[in-house]
Amino acid sequence: MSLPLRESEYAVTLKNDRLLRALLGEPVDVTPVWMMRQAGRYLPEYRATRKQAGDFLTVCKTPELACEVTMQPLRRYAFDAAILFSDILTIPDALGQGLYFSEGEGPKFHKVIRSAADVEKLPEVDIADELSYVTDAVSVIRKELNGTVPLIGFSGSPWTLATYMIEGGSSKDFRIAKQFMYDNPEAMHLLLEKLADSVTDYLNAQIRAGAQAVQIFDTWGGILSGNAYREFSLNYMTKIVSKLQKENEGRRVPVIIFTKNGGQWLESIADSGCDAIGLDWTTEIGDARSRVGGRVALQGNMDPTILYASPAVIREEVATILKSFGSGEGHVFNLGHGITPEVNPDHVSHFVEAVHEYSEQYHR
């Protein structure tokens, strides 16, 4: 596979650029919508591809399969964006930590970080090179999208990656990671510095390969106190944002920061230089807009469990969130977290249709 694709190989004009416009606060006809984890286990065709591939990581590491599952939700629903199919933990894997998935237990690492020496021993790797399967997937997907909707690239945040690398997987209370942070702040900062450099290189490689917006998933920033969040998580996301390539293919590449349970820190997140903040469902989007809406766009924020409710309830909740945001620009509709495997795919149609249908009145 030859990389990167030349610009002429992309469709010159993006047919649907609502997402990019909304992320920059520019006028749109209707509110754009996509879903975190839209290529996921709730779709039977996704489960079939994954079964055929054998496992999740094989889908991530095979650009044609990653492209196939990225495209699947777009064939069913009128989403305004595709999001690269990958995992947030590709970087620690590229750093030699040995990512694997054990059924029902989530991601795990063969190696863990438990000391300053472990941090210092982390290899210097060329992330773009090591994760070429991801940038290859970006190129293949862009070709396949053929200018219909933009492609979002992403990475885990340094803090979120660090928690997994220290704990060796997910955790209930992240006590090993927090103890490391409190007892060895210098070593933690060194680790986060290294990860911030890797995330920067990784996202820039995705942008060069064709990602038209990028999102930083700070899944576990919200387990910290406000002070610790700013020092150990937001601080590094801010550094990354400042070093990302601002433009590609003649358009600005917007950056979204999503800190789960970060609703108390929106003002600080808006100071990071990001273009948009992802909100989980615990934050009232209207309140969030009055706090930071003039400075950044907002993405979110329906509780994903509402997709288990009846179509009427789903439509009503979409209407409530649109009304809470109100008239004007700077809103990308999304869930407040990823869609879960047991959702009925028909319910997603109601969700997407309702966003487009009910939002028109707010964009006149």
Residue pair 146/11 in contact by the 8 Å Cβ criterion: yes
Tell me if 263 contacts its own copies by CB under 8 A: yes
Among positions 52, 115, 242, 264, the unique one binding its own copies when judged by CB under 8 A:
264
Q: How far is the CB of 317 from its own copies (least distance, A)?
A: 8
Closer CB to its own copies, 255 or 348, in the complex? 348
CB-nearer residue toward its own copies: 135 or 283: 283
> Considering the rule CB under 8 A, would residue 175 count as an interface residue with its own copies?
yes
Phi, psi of 354 (to 5 degrees): -60, -40
Apex CA 191: angle with CA 189 and CA 196, to 5°? 90
Residue of the chain from 118, 197, 303, 329 that contacts its own copies (CB under 8 A):
303
Catalytic residue, candidates 41, 230, 251, 315: 41
> What's the first-to-final CA gap in the chain, in angstroms?
45
Q: Using CB under 8 A, pick the residue from 183, 186, 247, 346 that binds its own copies.
A: 183
Residue 303, Cβ density class (10 Å: 0-12 exposed, 13-18 middle, ≥19 buried): middle
CA nearest to 191, candidates 241, 242, 122, 239: 122
Q: Which is nearer to its own copies, 133 or 308 (CB)?
A: 308
Q: How far is the CB of 209 from its own copies (least distance, A)?
A: 34
* CB 174, min distance to its own copies, A: 7
The region of 36-44, 143-151, 211-219, 304-312 touching its own copies under the rule CB under 8 A is 304-312
Which of these ranges, 108-116, 153-161, 177-185, 250-258, lies near its own copies under the rule CB under 8 A?
177-185
358 part of the active site: no
- Of 38 and 301, which CB lies nearer to its own copies in the complex structure? 301
- Sequence-distant (6+) residues with CB within 8 A of 129 are none
Q: How many residues does the chain have?
A: 364
> Binding of its own copies at residue 271 (CB under 8 A)?
no
Q: Is 105 in the site for its own copies (CB under 8 A)?
A: no
Binding mask 209-228 for its own copies (x = CB under 8 A): -------------xxxxxxx
For residue 302, CA distances in Å to 249, 261, 339, 355 come to 32, 14, 10, 11
How near is the Cβ of 305 to its own copies at its closest, in Å? 4
Cβ(165)–Cβ(34) below 8 Å:
no
The reply on whether position 170 binds its own copies by CB under 8 A is no
Instruction: Please indicate whether residue 37 is annotated as part of the active site.
Output: yes
Torsion angle defined by CA atoms of residues 340, 293, 217 and 161, in that order, rounded to the nearest 10 degrees:
-140
Among positions 199, 255, 292, 306, the unique one binding its own copies when judged by CB under 8 A: 306
Rg of the chain over Cα atoms, rounded to whole angstroms, equals: 19
Establish if 281 lies at the interface with its own copies (CB under 8 A).
yes
Closest of 231, 219, 212 to residue 22, by C-alpha: 212
Of 45, 320, 349, 362, the one binding its own copies by CB under 8 A: 320
Q: Which residue lies nearer to its own copies by CB, 2 or 227?
A: 227
Whether residue 41 lies in the annotated active site: yes
| CA angle (212, 287, 151) in 5-degree steps | 10
* For helices 158-167 and 235-243, angle between their N-to-C axes, nearest 10 degrees: 130
Is 136 one of the catalytic residues? no
Integer CA distances (angstroms), 206 to 180, 214, 351, in order: 31, 8, 29
Q: Residue with structure tokens 């930590």?
A: 97
Whether the CB-CB separation of 84 and 141 falls below 8 Å is answered with yes
Any idea what DSSP says for residue 112?
-
Asked if 354 touches its own copies (CB under 8 A), the answer is: no
Of 17, 80, 87, 275, which one is the catalytic site residue?
87
Whose Cβ is closer to its own copies: residue 202's or residue 281's?
A: 281
Annotated active-site residue in 37, 251, 291, 295: 37
Interface residues with its own copies (CB under 8 A) are 173-175, 178-179, 182-183, 222-229, 261, 263-264, 281-284, 287, 303-306, 308-310, 313, 317, 320, 340, 342
Which residues are tagged catalytic? 37, 41, 50, 87, 164
